[in-house]
A and B are shown apart, each in its own frame.
Chain A
Amino acid sequence: MADVGPTAQFVAGGTDLYPNMKRRQQTPQTVISIMRLSELNQITGDGSHGLRIGASVILTDICENEIINRDYPVVARAARTISTPLLRNMGTIGGNLLLDTRCNYYDQNFEWRKGINFCLKKDGDVCWVAPGSSKCWAVQSSDLVPVMVAIGAKLRFASTLGERVIDAAGLYNDDGIDYLHKATR
């Protein structure tokens, strides 16, 4: 990431990014997998001392983990509502919590979007949902996000600049384009 800069993107399960790349909604020049980082692939702790779930833990493991089902059944139950078993075998909790927002005018292939001269979220300057709006209205679509917000989960972000821990509620922004507060505010 330090070598290639903003033209690179991290990927975990790829169930969100790869379809988006096919539709040219996201066009990274370099894709860097985090799936071999063992520190991010673990579930540690319990309900008494707090549970830590690594970003690259796949959703199937969330569904089946004994401690999560015992101490945080809400998390396991929400994870089971996500998509299908095949996608839960690939998708990760980190990817689900950072999921791109969805919209009928955005989640289309390149040619379809070109036909309407694109939209505010990608390559265009009009929100076709609310043409008079300067805001993108693409919707949050993660099954785990409302759970993490509701139970007061904390999210830990790390980069070469350091680490920070924020409340889940503080991560999400009510804007379909700038939907995450990943950078330090």
Chain B
Amino acid sequence: MAGARRIKSFDVAARSTFLFLASPHTSKTKVALLLMPGWCSGGIAPSPVEIKEARSALVGKSLNEEQIQIVAEAAYVKARPLDNTDFVYQWRKQMARQYTLRALRELA
């Protein structure tokens, strides 16, 4: 468990937080994606959704806008929420891309 780790989190509504983690400086980079509820909203899937495409897009490369767009697109594709939380699923899917973009831009 060595290497730099940085995290971005964003409050998106009263008690909802999107959590995005990227550790681009380690060989074990994973990007975990989860739209977080405070109590009964949010959520993408029954388990954490790993964006495996982020590994090839991030490891060993500089974090430029092109790489960021690739990861954000991958996050958008992977996020397939259903209509079972307080936030509508179409919005949550859109947010997967937006929050990924914002998080990685801050890391860059």
Contact = CB atoms under 8 A, between A and B. Distances in A.
A-B interaction: yes
Interface in A79-118: 81, 83, 101-105, 107
Interface residues of B, number: 37
A73 interface: yes
Contacts, number: 123
Contacts of A81: 9, 11, 17, 19, 36
A175 B47 CA distance: 7
Dominant SS among interface residues on chain B: loop
B85 interface: yes
Contact of A141 (B11, B21, B36, B81): B36
A172 B32 CA distance: 13
A149 B5 contact: no
B40 A107 contact: yes
Contact of B46 (A152, A169, A174): A174
Nearest to B9: A81
Contacts of A174: 45-47
B82 A130 contact: yes
A140 interface: yes
A139 B5 CA distance: 26
Contacts of B44: 139-140
B58 interface: no
A93 to B, nearest CB: 15
Interface string A13-46: 0000000000000000000000000000000000
A151 B86 CA distance: 29
Interface centre among A47, A104, A153 (most CB of B within 10 A): A104
A139 B41 CA distance: 9
Contact of B32 (A72, A83, A130, A147): A147
Interface of B: 1-2, 5-7, 9, 11, 15, 17, 19, 21, 23, 28, 30-34, 36-40, 42-48, 50, 81-86
24 contacts: A72-B1, A81-B19, A83-B15, A102-B43, A102-B85, A103-B84, A103-B85, A104-B40, A129-B83, A137-B82, A139-B37, A139-B42, A139-B81, A139-B84, A140-B45, A146-B19, A146-B33, A147-B19, A149-B48, A150-B23, A151-B21, A152-B30, A169-B50, A179-B47
Interface of A: 47, 50, 72-74, 77-78, 81, 83, 101-105, 107, 129-130, 136-141, 143, 145-147, 149-153, 169, 172-176, 179
